[in-house]
Amino acid sequence: MFFAIIAAAIIFSGWAGAAEVSISSVNEIVALNKFIQKNITVTNDAMTWVGVTLLPEGNISQLVDFSPGHFDIRAKDSRTFILTIYGNEDPLKFINHSYFIYHGALFMLGISKRIPVDIMVTDGTINLPSSMLLSVSPASDSFTREQKLSFTVTVTNLMTGSQPEVRIKYSILNDNNQSPTFLGSDELNVSTSKTLIKEFLFPENISEGTHTLRVEMAYSDKSSVANAPFSIITPLYLKRLFRIAVWQFFAAFLLLAVLAVLYYFNRKKVAASRRYGVAVDFRALPVLGRLVR
């Protein structure tokens, strides 16, 4: 019964913070003095209601707005909010530049979700920051510390007759806004399209929670960035309850079960080894002062 209660508590603790977001990242291009809007849905899979507060992170604060900025979601229900991205920039900055890129994140306080946000504000004359496209896709949404960070990177060359040397850098952005953790880099030439399958060991000090894989591409005098969120989780058997790992509870339970079985069979063996299966009723023996008939 005790272990059943423990298992139920562990399962319920996993349900309590469950929430899903309809998008994993935001990558948008907006022209100067224009705006675009996106509908984002948050689903609460928990057994109780949850309050969500939307907070911008990084240098995107002056470019984004949320409506509403705070909302409550009932258990097993969904709520949609509007993300508005503005092309608010000083026109004088575009005299010598045709675009500016901003990196940040949308943090959802209450469900501990972080959505990477990349915004490019253009002067209205271009649609893409470069003639090479970059994308990254992790092998899974979540990893354990013992696994490797596996992901694929695709570089597409839209230029004709040109194969510039491409430099790619891989890093992890921590959820506590610390300095990025550098993983490695590559240099390659791309004629049309090339896909790389990469694997890296996680840093020893990486914490449990949401992180962002950042891939930066540079060639000639241009650059591009792709982000992908992922989570570091602890396997169920390593989770702790009352400061004791779950596997230790089950190991203790298994040990007690084995000892109980051994004790049972030992008692049966001792009983079978008796020469006479006679039980003595001590109440029937003569006692001083009592007549036995």
Q: Which domains does the chain have, with CATH numbers?
A: 18-126 (2.60.40.10), 130-260 (2.60.40.3880)
133-137, 174-178, 206-210: which range is least confident on average? 174-178
How many CB atoms lie under 10 A from the CB of residue 23?
13
- Answer yes or no: is pLDDT of 14 > 50: no
Per-residue pLDDT, 88: 86
Region 31-49 average pLDDT: 90
Query: Hey, CA dihedral for 193, 196, 197, 202, is it positive or negative?
Result: negative
Report the interhelical angle of 246-273 vs 2-16 (nearest 10°). 160
153-167, 213-227, 266-280: which range is least confident on average? 266-280
Say what the pTM is. 0.51
Region 157-169 average pLDDT: 81
Q: How confident is the model at residue 15 (pLDDT cuts 50, 70, 90)?
A: very low
Q: How confident is the model at residue 272 (pLDDT cuts 50, 70, 90)?
A: confident
